[in-house]
Amino acid sequence: MRKLAFGYSTRCNIRCEHCVATGDIPDSRTMDHGKAKKIIDQLALAGVGGISFSAGEPMLYFNEIVELVELCRQVNIYTRIVTNSFWAKTAESADRLVAELKEKGLCQLRLSFSRWHQKHVSQHNVLNAARSCQKIGLDYFISFVTDFSEEDDPYEQFLRDQGLTFFPEPVIYAGRAESFKRRSILTDYQPNCCDMNPYLTPDLEMYGCCDAGSHFPATNFFYLGNLNDHTMAELFTKSETDRLHNLIRTMGLTNIASFTGMKGRDIITYSKCELCRKLFNSPATLARLRAEVAELAAWSR
């Protein structure tokens, strides 16, 4: 099933140091709402079955996003909103907004949570939003962004103490977090395959990955094109027929890195997104992988 991260706006009401969505320069771009509604129809025609409204803070445009969610329901597209929960200051306000979202057809809320987010938004806002989802029957989970340091222990304990559904997710060293001191992961030697759901920006630029895909300035490896020049189906097909994109999905980044000559003890110090940038934001490495893609595809255990 095709999926898409839908960047309705880059505007956000908080400024987190770790944000992968933007860099140091303030950025505020918003999609034309009429165009956005037409894009929903294009997505349905292109066989897209799931949309995640993300990028900036979607709930700043509550009425517009609700309308897009309702349109998605009409064409059988699953919808998720990624939010920092600024709007859930009280249980009452959270209940009201969550109830409306569910009524209009929203399928899931993804609540962002971290020591960086919570400098700007109270952790009790996240609790209010989660409790409203539980009460009203809207699926949710908390995305707990972490660098796995001891500083994050009190935040993780808060989620555990409240009995909330959460999943730790490693911070991505891109955007504002590019200046962070990198922490070695030292995990198991795993494939690190990636679904690579594309990301659509407010300017209608489309990238092959919704995480750090727009932060490959040296190669633009994931850039697919602009909807003003191509159809949605054409841009999806471009990624789906790119042999390297497909090998990321199937072979995985760890095996690709090993093919290039990286030592195993180095590979396991990288998170998935870091390893991807190391491989594909290097013009020399990318040129080699493009030239040797047939050998790479045949390189298996």
What digits encode the pLDDT tens for the residues 177-209?
777 887 787 888 899 999 999 999 999 999 999
Instruction: Determine which helix (DSSP H) or strand (DSSP E) holds 78, and give its type and residue range.
Output: strand 78-83
Q: What is the pLDDT of residue 14?
A: 87
Please give the span between the terminal C-alpha atoms of the chain, in angstroms, as a whole number: 28
Please report, rounded to a whole number, the percentage of residues in the chain having pLDDT higher than 90. 81
Say if residues 96 and 129 touch (Cβ distance below 8 Å).
no
In a domain, 70, yes or no: yes
pLDDT at position 275 over 90: yes
Report residue 52 CA to chain centroid gap. Answer: 8
Q: What is the pLDDT of residue 128?
A: 98
pLDDT at position 295 over 70: yes
Half-sphere exposure at residue 287, Cβ-oriented, CA atoms within 13 angstroms: 4
In a domain, 204, yes or no: no
Q: What is the pLDDT of residue 300?
A: 72
pLDDT-based confidence at residue 173 (cuts at 50, 70, 90) = confident
In a domain, 242, yes or no: no
pTM greater than 0.75 (yes/no):
yes
pLDDT at position 24 over 50: no
User: What average pLDDT does this structure show over 162-167?
Assistant: 97
d(CA 240, CA 58): 28
Q: What is the CATH number of the domain that holds 115?
A: 3.20.20.70
In a domain, 201, yes or no: no
The average confidence (pLDDT) of the chain is 93
Domain region containing 138: 2-183
d(CA 122, CA 241): 44
In a domain, 109, yes or no: yes
Phi, psi (rounded to 5 degrees) for 146? -145, 155
Pairwise pLDDT comparison (53 vs 172), residue with the higher score: 53
> Exposed/middle/buried for 65, CB within 10 Å: 0-12, 13-18, 19+?
buried
In a domain, 194, yes or no: no
Please report, rounded to a whole number, the percentage of residues in the chain having pLDDT higher than 70. 97
Number of domains, the chain: 1
Phi, psi (rounded to 5 degrees) for 51? -130, 135
Dig out the tokens for 5 from the structure. 């991260």
Dig out the tokens for 74 from the structure. 């009409």
Helix/strand/coil for 140: strand
Kind of pairing, strands 199-200 and 205-207? Answer: antiparallel
Phi, psi (rounded to 5 degrees) for 136? -90, -15
In a domain, 261, yes or no: no
Kind of pairing, strands 48-55 and 223-226? Answer: unpaired
In a domain, 39, yes or no: yes
DSSP string, 15-57: --TT-SS--SS----B--HHHHHHHHHHHHHTTEEEEEEEES-
Dig out the tokens for 159 from the structure. 């989620």
Helix/strand/coil for 239: helix
Half-sphere exposure at residue 19, Cβ-oriented, CA atoms within 13 angstroms: 25
